[in-house]
Amino acid sequence: MTESYPIRPEAAAAPTSGIVDTVNYGRTREGLIPLWVGEGDLATPAFISEAATRSLAAGETFYTYQRGIPELRAAIARRQGAILGKEIDPERIFVTSGGMPAVQMALRLVAGAGDEVVIPTPAWPNFVGALTVSGATPVEVALDPSPEGFSLDLARLEAALTPRTRAIVINSPANPTGWTATREELAAILEIARARGLWIVSDEIYTRFVWDERVMVGERAASFHDVMRPDDRVLFVQTLSKNYAMTGWRVGWLEAPAELGQTIENLVQYSTSGTPVFVQRAAIAALDHGEGFVQHQIARARRGRAIVAEALATLNAVRFAPPPGAFYAFFGIPGADSQVLARRIVDEANVGLAPGSAFGAGGADGLRLCFARKADDLEEAMRRLAPVLRDLPI
Ligand code: PMP
């Protein structure tokens, strides 16, 4: 095929998502409980959708600011400032069409052909995908699984750095492992980056979903914002997708030094050319009036985590520690092939889980389960899973 249609090797090398493989296998099964993708079961609250329909009715259907409409940039800065306990300059905020474009933009700013970017894994596969497409080389550093949970060995992180390294991607709280850095770990990672002049791309989209006091600052996860100086080289990825049940809207932001504003504006121009105004109006409504909904989602995920953790604790074949952050249980079945097992679970339990092999080094024998869902579904899913998992290893 590539002979008839020659394309860039970087595009041809873009990996197929291992999650999609399982979803395609099971998507038409009747009664399947889908816990394989990273989203909850609640639709966007009406007050958010209504802000978009009002905007459409008012004719806001034109091209707009590449950096985002000023009202949304201000709303993001206000809301983030309140969450972080720190003043955020709206000039640092660049609206993107979701968290994924913010990841892509961040990586495009700092790494290209011949460059390496270090990523603790198992990780959300899109980091590796975005790097591959841009021609840069992802360098995976596997998190250590232990009975207490995943941890990042900073000496190994440092050992993975080479003269070609341009950036370190840190996703804390992490998808899929729930690994969450302490404030001290973030400070140590920042020191490593500073010493070598590296960028940090910090994906903190799950910061509100945090369950362990040791990794918390106030009610959220520790952030690079807690330890950085204004001139540190940190790019932040954020999204409205998870907090406000807006995965399908495609709106998020990149936070970057204001000095990069013109460059980022140019990159937006040559990719999406901006995020629709009516979507941005909805985002403002979410940020200004959505805190009650976010709290509701956090409470549901906390309950979901407890249901799943309690059920997994009874299964000897399963290696699992309740995650300190995010809304996934990532558990291991020593010796299993997760792709095979995820299909078997579709067949025998009618539950959709994501195979750990989709998430890179360290994930091969794992399964990811999203617990941002109503309790009834999770209880039923765990009832169905128990007999399959109890009989393992296969
Ligand atoms: N970062 C991480 C760690 C994620 O898990 C996701 C979504 N699964 C995103 C970014 C992107 O979110 P979106 O593009 O839907 O806003």
Overall size of the chain counted in residues: 394
Tell the residue nearest (CA) to atom 8 of ligand 1: 38
What's residue 392's pLDDT?
Answer: 67
Tell the residue nearest (CA) to atom 10 of ligand 1: 99
Whether pLDDT at 197 is above 70: yes
Tell the residue nearest (CA) to atom 12 of ligand 1: 99
Q: Quick one: CA dihedral 330, 336, 338, 342, positive or negative?
A: negative
Q: What are phi and psi of 135, to 5 degrees?
A: 95, -5
Estimate the share of the chain in helix, then strand, then coil, as percent rounded to the nearest 5: 45, 15, 40
Q: What are phi and psi of 23, to 5 degrees?
A: -60, -45
Residues of the domain holding 321: 9-44+292-390
Indicate whether 121 and 242 sit together in one domain.
Answer: yes
CA 114-119-121 angle, to 5 degrees, is 135
- For residues 272 and 226, give the distance between their C-alpha atoms in angstroms, rounded to a whole number: 32
Whether pLDDT at 236 is above 50: yes
> If we measure between CA atoms, which residue out of 354, 328, 358, 330 comes closest to residue 342?
354
Whether pLDDT at 393 is above 70: no
| CATH code of the domain in which 347 resides | 3.90.1150.10
Over residues 123-135, mean pLDDT: 95
Q: What is the pLDDT of residues 143-154, one digit of tens each?
A: 998 888 999 999
Over residues 308-318, mean pLDDT: 92
Per the structure, the count of domains in the chain is 2
What's residue 146's pLDDT?
Answer: 84
Lowest mean pLDDT among 158-162, 293-297, 312-316, 329-333: 312-316
CB distance 385 to 51 below 8 Å: no
Indicate whether 204 and 250 sit together in one domain.
Answer: yes
What's residue 253's pLDDT?
Answer: 98
Indicate whether 216 and 69 sit together in one domain.
Answer: yes
- Ligand 1: does its nearest atom lie under 6 Å from the Cβ of 100? yes
DSSP notation for 298-353 = HHHHHHHHHHHHHHHHT-TT-B----SBSSEEEEE-TT--HHHHHHHHHHHH-EE-
Q: Which atom of ligand 1 is nearest to the CA of 103?
A: 10
Examine residue 3 and state whether it is found in any structural domain, yes or no. no
Indicate whether 274 and 296 sit together in one domain.
Answer: no
Indicate whether 22 and 137 sit together in one domain.
Answer: no
- Ligand 1: does its nearest atom lie under 6 Å from the Cβ of 177? no
CA 138-143-148 angle, to 5 degrees, is 165
Over residues 9-19, mean pLDDT: 89
Q: Quick one: CA dihedral 163, 169, 182, 124, positive or negative?
A: negative
- Ligand 1: does its nearest atom lie under 6 Å from the Cβ of 252? yes
Over residues 340-366, mean pLDDT: 95
- For residues 23 and 352, give the distance between their C-alpha atoms in angstroms, rounded to a whole number: 7
Whether pLDDT at 206 is above 80: yes
The set of residues, in sequence order, having a beta carbon less than 8 Å from that of 28 and lying 6+ positions away, is: none
What's residue 16's pLDDT?
Answer: 85
- Ligand 1: does its nearest atom lie under 6 Å from the Cβ of 98? yes
CB distance 170 to 185 below 8 Å: no
Indicate whether 247 and 377 sit together in one domain.
Answer: no
Whether pLDDT at 209 is above 60: yes
What's residue 369's pLDDT?
Answer: 98
CB distance 63 to 232 below 8 Å: no
Indicate whether 129 and 28 sit together in one domain.
Answer: no
| CATH code of the domain in which 81 resides | 3.40.640.10
Q: Which atom of ligand 1 is nearest to the CA of 206?
A: 3
Q: What is the pLDDT of residues 159-186, one digit of tens each?
A: 999 999 999 999 999 999 999 999 999 9
- Ligand 1: does its nearest atom lie under 6 Å from the Cβ of 267? no
19 Cα: distance to centroid of ligand 1 (angstroms):
14
8 Cα: distance to centroid of ligand 1 (angstroms):
26
98 Cα: distance to centroid of ligand 1 (angstroms):
8
Over residues 35-57, mean pLDDT: 97
- For residues 106 and 94, give the distance between their C-alpha atoms in angstroms, rounded to a whole number: 11
- Residue 394 confidence class, pLDDT cut points 50, 70, 90: very low
Examine residue 52 and state whether it is found in any structural domain, yes or no. yes
- Ligand 1: does its nearest atom lie under 6 Å from the Cβ of 327? no
239 Cα: distance to centroid of ligand 1 (angstroms):
7
Examine residue 378 and state whether it is found in any structural domain, yes or no. yes
- For residues 293 and 363, give the distance between their C-alpha atoms in angstroms, rounded to a whole number: 33
